[in-house]
A and B are shown apart, each in its own frame.
Chain A
Amino acid sequence: MAKAKKKAQQEVVKPEKDVVASMAEAFREKLLKIVQSGVKDLVIDLMGVEMVDSVGIGVLVATHNSVSKAGGKMSVTNVSEDIYKLFKTMRLDQHFEVSPVAG
Chain B
Amino acid sequence: MNKCLGPMTFTVSHNPDGIDLRFSATLENIDRVAEETKRFVRRMDVEEHTFDVFLVLREALVNAVIHGSGGDGQKIVSCTLRLEDGSLIMEIEDEGEGFDWRGCLAKSPDPNSDCGRGLGIMKEYCADFRFNDKGNGLIMRKRLSSRVAHCQEISALPSIK
Contacts and interface: CB of A to CB of B under 8 A. Distances in A.
Contact of B117 (A18, A51, A58, A94): A58
Interface residues of B, number: 25
A59 interface: yes
A57 interface: yes
B62 interface: yes
Contacts of B52: 82
Contact of A54 (B27, B65, B112, B121): B121
Query: Does more than half of chain A's interface fall in helix, strand or loop, or is it mixed?
Result: helix
A95 B113 CA distance: 11
B30 interface: yes
A56 B54 CA distance: 14
A90 B120 contact: yes
A61 B120 CA distance: 15
A65 interface: yes
A61 B114 contact: yes
A65 B114 contact: yes
A70 interface: no
Nearest to B66: A21
